[in-house]
Amino acid sequence: MHVAILGATGAVGRTFLEVLEQRNFPVAELTLLASERSVGKVIEWRGRKITVRAPEPGCFRGVDVALFSAGGARSLEWAPRAAEEGAIVVDNSSAWRMDPEVPLVVPEVNPDAAANRPKGIIANPNCSTIQVVVALKALENASPLKNVVMTTFQSVSGAGETGKAALDRELRGETGDTPFSRTIAGNVIPQIGKFDGEGWTEEELKMVYEPRKILSLPKLDLAPTCVRVPVEIGHSVEMMVEQERPLSRDEAIEALSAMPGIVVSAAAEKFPTPLEVAGRDEVFVGRIRRDIHRPNVLHLWVVADNLRKGAATNAVQIAGLLG
């Protein structure tokens, strides 16, 4: 396959390169694209030296799959052109996710959706959404979902290389550019994206609308709160899930364990943490427990590497469906 990456020098772009190599993706040719700032950089991949170029008309001709992670504006500009030039675009930005003609795919959950892509574009969901829907699908398989409350602990790499650099700098006691509205070192910030008029953030609204589309549950009641924490890589989500039929703790563990891509920690003290799962491709679930009051409510703690399963790995898995 001829693979192109747009945004090859960003936090997710670099992870695309790692994941393509580690998963032994059948790459015959690799085109690396990025913004002007990175043009001319030479990136070594599997012994090849590849020079980063700027995207230009015609550059997607002959490309089979184009993996995009260069922000919404560049996706809006280049995804339709890439599709027109014959590439299938797997886009990591939020630009196309809610377009009814663009499938939003998590391969463990709705792989069939990838086949129906009238625009030649497939959207990769929001990082927190991906790990959450894998767990929700597993539980939905055992008993229909009624209501989901989620609080996220999201790492700085979710804001790209500038997010990582800002935390590093602050930990060294230095100041400089930051994508965050407050100091993140030694702090937590309950804001990811802009606020709407009702007080909800963009990230929270993504976690309402994207799971509904992926799970084909357009009325699912979801209540997310998204918080940035001073962790480099790995998002954690506390989830409270109300279901039609009560599941015992053992039934919940069984349902989650049956789902491909999930690693379950059944013992309470074996819970996953972001520092431990960074670099891994799976979704890690622990602290599975029944609510104290309501038998049909479960709590769980869900952790994944936001650059891998939350972005690059999921996109490469989607590319793998196209075969």
Residues that bind a second copy (CB under 8 A): 147, 149, 151, 153, 171, 181-183, 186-191, 195, 198-200, 208, 221-223, 225, 227, 229-232, 236, 238, 240, 249, 268-269, 271, 273-276, 286-294, 297, 299, 301
Selecting among 226, 235, 293, 299, the annotated active-site residue is 235
- To a second copy, the closest distance from the beta carbon of 153 in angstroms equals 5
- To a second copy, the closest distance from the beta carbon of 313 in angstroms equals 21
Burial 112-148 (b: 16+ CB within 10 A, else e): ebbeebeebbbbbbbbbbbbbbbbbbbbbeebebeeb
Q: Which secondary structure element, helix H or strand E, spans residue 204, and what is its range?
A: helix 202-215
Backbone angles phi, psi at 227, to 5 degrees: -130, 135
For a second copy, the closer CB: 90 or 139: 139
Identify whether 127 is a catalytic site residue: yes
Identify whether 299 is a catalytic site residue: no
Residue 90, both tokens: 């797997």
- To a second copy, the closest distance from the beta carbon of 148 in angstroms equals 10
Backbone angles phi, psi at 9, to 5 degrees: -100, 0
The burial of 172, by beta-carbon neighbours within 10 Å (0-12 exposed, 13-18 middle, 19 or more buried), is given as exposed
Selecting among 2, 59, 127, 226, the annotated active-site residue is 127
Pick from 197, 160, 222: which is nearest to 7 by CA? 160
- Contact between residue 289 and residue 299 where contact means Cβ atoms under 8 Å apart: yes
- To a second copy, the closest distance from the beta carbon of 186 in angstroms equals 6
Pick from 58, 103, 100, 53: which is nearest to 78 by CA? 58
- To a second copy, the closest distance from the beta carbon of 170 in angstroms equals 10
For a second copy, the closer CB: 280 or 290: 290
For a second copy, the closer CB: 85 or 232: 232
For a second copy, the closer CB: 85 or 202: 202
Question: Which residue numbers are catalytic?
Answer: 127, 235
